[in-house]
């Protein structure tokens, strides 16, 4: 589902116009990004947590040039689904015929 499809779905369910829903979705994602970029985590009960995961420094391989590359320690965003959300998705059947986009 794309952001445009999500906006359309929410607009249908709530009765609000797409312009208003689009502004809410944009501000929601901006709020999460701003919070994480300032070192704060976001917890949404029943949905999940957007957290910051530290990565240790390491030596990686550049396979094209056959050299070692130093990768410094850094942080990456991560999502941890809530238990009930995880259980909902866990029961889905995998469709091997679907192609990844």
pLDDT, tens digit, 9 for 90 and up, residues 56-70: 999 999 899 989 999
Name the residue ranges covered by the structural domains of the chain: 1-40, 41-91
Instruction: Give the model's pLDDT for residue 99.
Output: 56
Q: Which residues of the chain are modeled with pLDDT < 50?
A: 101
Tokens of 86: 């995880």
Instruction: Give the model's pLDDT for residue 98.
Output: 63
Average pLDDT, the chain: 91
SS3 content of the chain, % helix, strand, coil (to 5): 40, 30, 30
**Interior/surface letters 78-89, b for 16+ CB within 10 angstroms, e for the rest:** eeeeeeeeeeee
Out of 3.40.630.30, 2.40.128.20, 3.90.1150.10, 4.10.520.10, select the CATH number for domain 41-91: 4.10.520.10
Instruction: Give the model's pLDDT for residue 60.
Output: 92
Place of tokens 């391989």: 61
Instruction: Give the model's pLDDT for residue 97.
Output: 66
Instruction: Give the model's pLDDT for residue 91.
Output: 77
């Amino acid at each position: 589902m794309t952001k445009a499809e999500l906006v359309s779905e929410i607009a249908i369910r709530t009765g609000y116009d797409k312009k208003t829903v689009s502004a809410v979705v944009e501000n929601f994602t901006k709020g999460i990004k701003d919070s994480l970029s300032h070192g704060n985590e976001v917890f949404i009960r029943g949905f999940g947590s957007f957290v910051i995961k530290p990565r240790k420094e390491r030596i990686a391989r550049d396979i094209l040039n056959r050299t070692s590359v130093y990768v410094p320690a850094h942080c990456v965003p991560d999502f941890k689904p809530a238990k009930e959300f995880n259980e909902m998705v866990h029961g889905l059947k995998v469709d091997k015929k679907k192609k990844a986009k």
